[in-house]
Amino acid sequence: MPARCFVLLSALLLFPATLFGQARIPDKPAGAPSEIYRSVVRIEAAVQVPDYSAPWNSGRFGGGIGTGFIIGKNQILTNAHVVSNARRLLVTVHGSPEKYPAKVDFIAHDCDLALLSVEDFSDFDDFPVFKIGGVPELESQVRVIGYPIGGDRLSVTRGVVSRIDYSSYSHSRADQHLVIQIDAAINPGNSGGPVLQDGRVIGVAFQGRRDADNTGYIIPTPVINRFLTDIKDGSYDHYVDLAISTFPLFNPAMRKALQLPADGQGVLISNVISHGTCDGFLKAGDLLVSIDGHPIDSAGQILIDGAKVEFSEIVERKFAGDTVQLRYRSDGVWHDQDIPLKNLPQNQMYAIQYEKQPRYIVFGGLVFQPLDTNLFASESFNDLHVRALYQDYLSKGIFLERPDIVIMTRLLADPINSRLDEFQGMAVDKINGTTVTTLDQAQELLSQTPEKGFHVIEFLGGKRPLVLPADQVADANDRVQRTYEIDQLVNLKE
């Protein structure tokens, strides 16, 4: 499975935030502090979160406070998690009670960044603009500006760069990118705030850890610059991926068996995702030793700008259509291959989705939904077949046969479906003898009149099929719709 897919964050205990501590720096941003502070804005978001347990409902309402900062003409940079699922955004300037309506122009959930604009930027025309800097050195001092704990006044905190690493981004629950750790705590409200060094932005405050004191994380400039470059064409196209899994080669006996020298270089290819970037070039069992001329050590790391990072960082800075040069050994033959990079949309199976409505079908009180991480997080799936389908969706190429894994998630009680509780939480295999591959197809099959007068639904791992009398479904749908106050029995659009 690609490094960016299906990252379990529970062990890391990372969480999106809205404040970071910051470090002391010897100089101040360009302009007087009061001037530059005007360009750090407070963002108030009213949000509506979809309800995957009852997908026909409008979802629950909530709100939160975050921070943003001006980087150009009507361009306010912040975190994606500050504005995700927003129904209303209001921006407040330091020292002013006025609230300015804003909207999201671009949002990147995979790297937790968003770019906003306000309806009327004229009041901001003379505000200073933050400039993007470089990557700070270890032990160097930084300063973070923002609105922690939802406060109405700016807070400035300081910290020291304690680590530069390749780690998890908790907003999507699935992505890993370059991060910078600072020795300052993170509190709700400071997310999206600028992290400064030598008067320039060297990161965006975005998450922290519940299991550690005085530890905060910032999104570094390589990630910021990639986002800003990606959106120049008017759309955000997401990250590309090598779509491979690798295994470290620390063990001397394994290296000897693979006829590798004891030089601490190279990793073993353990899986190649079908239709991914490396499909047709690499295969399981190959040895990967360098990427774009950077030697890969036995832990899968390379040296960039004086720091060791995951070799995927090379790909992180590229776009679909760019090429990456790999040196690898396959079947005893060494290859130096330029490989074109491409997106793998199926990666989204393992990422939390935002700004999308749940897809579902309610049929005779049976609720069908496509499996994804939103659904997986909201339901307790104990069926081993469902868990295996989720786990192996990418690595075993299940998406090629079943773009949607359709699950019967709930049973809304009605006389037509009595004693059918055993099928809840199971994956649909066939409907009326036809293998189900998408939710749209499932709806089409259920809309047809079966030859023998009964809808027969088979489940993966099921001991018996579920059978419904076709001539009673319409009446059952009416009863269920009234009883459970469901406006639409079917939604196939995100």
- Would you say residue 154 has pLDDT above 90? no
Start-to-end Cα distance in the chain: 26
Residues of the chain with CATH 2.40.10.120: 14-233
C-alpha 60/C-alpha 53 separation (Å) is 12
Q: What is the pLDDT of residues 308-350, one digit of tens each?
A: 889 999 999 999 999 999 999 999 999 999 999 999 999 999 9
Mean pLDDT (whole number) for 23-47: 68
% helix, strand, coil for the chain, step of 5 = 20, 35, 45
**pLDDT reported for residue 20:** 29
pLDDT beyond 70 at 282: yes
Q: What is the pLDDT of residues 457-470, one digit of tens each?
A: 999 999 999 999 99
Q: Is the dihedral of CA 43, 69, 315, 306 positive or negative?
A: negative
Which ranges in the chain are annotated with CATH 2.30.42.10? Answer: 244-340
pLDDT of 477 over the 60 cut: yes
* Residue 22 reports pLDDT greater than 50: no
Q: What is the mean pLDDT of residues 193-215?
A: 85
pLDDT at position 25 is 32
28 pLDDT above the threshold of 70:
no
Task: Say what the pLDDT of residue 474 is.
Answer: 97
Question: In this model, does residue 160 exceed pLDDT 80?
Answer: yes
Measuring CA to CA, how many Å separate 154 from each of 75, 194, 418? Answer: 20, 12, 59
pLDDT surpasses 50 at 13: no
The pLDDT, as a whole number, for residue 482 is: 97
Task: Please check the confidence at residue 159 and state whether its pLDDT lies above 50.
Answer: yes
Q: What CATH number does domain 14-233 carry, 3.30.200.20, 2.40.10.120, 3.40.50.2000, 3.30.450.20? A: 2.40.10.120
Q: Could you count the other beta carbons within 10 Å of the beta carbon of residue 55? A: 24
pLDDT in tens, 234-274: 999 999 999 999 999 999 999 999 999 999 999 999 999 99
Residue 294: active-site member = no
> Model's pTM, two decimal places?
0.88
Binned at pLDDT 50, 70 and 90, residue 12 comes out as: very low
Asked if residue 9 has pLDDT above 80, the reply is: no
We find that the CATH architecture of domain 244-340 is Roll (2.30)
Q: What is the DSSP string of 282-330?
A: B-TT-EEEEETTEEPBTTSEEEETTEEEETTHHHHT--TT-EEEEEEEE
pLDDT at 215 over 90: no
Task: Provide CATH 3.20.190.20 ranges for the chain.
Answer: 357-491
At 34, the pLDDT band (50, 70, 90 cuts) reads low
Tens of pLDDT, residue by residue over 360-385, are 999 999 999 999 999 999 998 999 99
- Per-residue b or e along 173-203, where b marks 16 or more CB atoms closer than 10 Å to that residue's CB: bbbbbbbbbbbbbbbbbbbbbbbbbbebbbb
Cβ atoms of residues 285 and 254 within 8 Å: no
- Give percent of the chain above pLDDT 90: 80
Closest Cα to residue 383, out of 438, 431, 429, 442?
A: 429
Catalytic residue (one of 81, 109, 177, 455):
81
Known catalytic residue at 335: no
Please say whether the beta carbons of 277 and 242 come within 8 A.
yes
Whether 94 sits among the annotated catalytic residues: the reply is no
CATH of 357-491, one of 3.20.190.20, 3.30.9.10, 3.20.20.70, 3.40.30.10: 3.20.190.20
Is 346 within 8 Å of 399 (Cβ atoms)? yes
> What is d(CA 9, CA 96) in angstroms, rounded to the nearest whole number?
39
pLDDT of 153: 84
What number is the average pLDDT over the span 434-443? 98
Of 39, 191, 298, 312, the catalytic one is 191
Q: Exactly one of 110, 112, 286, 404 is catalytic; name it.
A: 112
What is the pLDDT at residue 14? Answer: 53
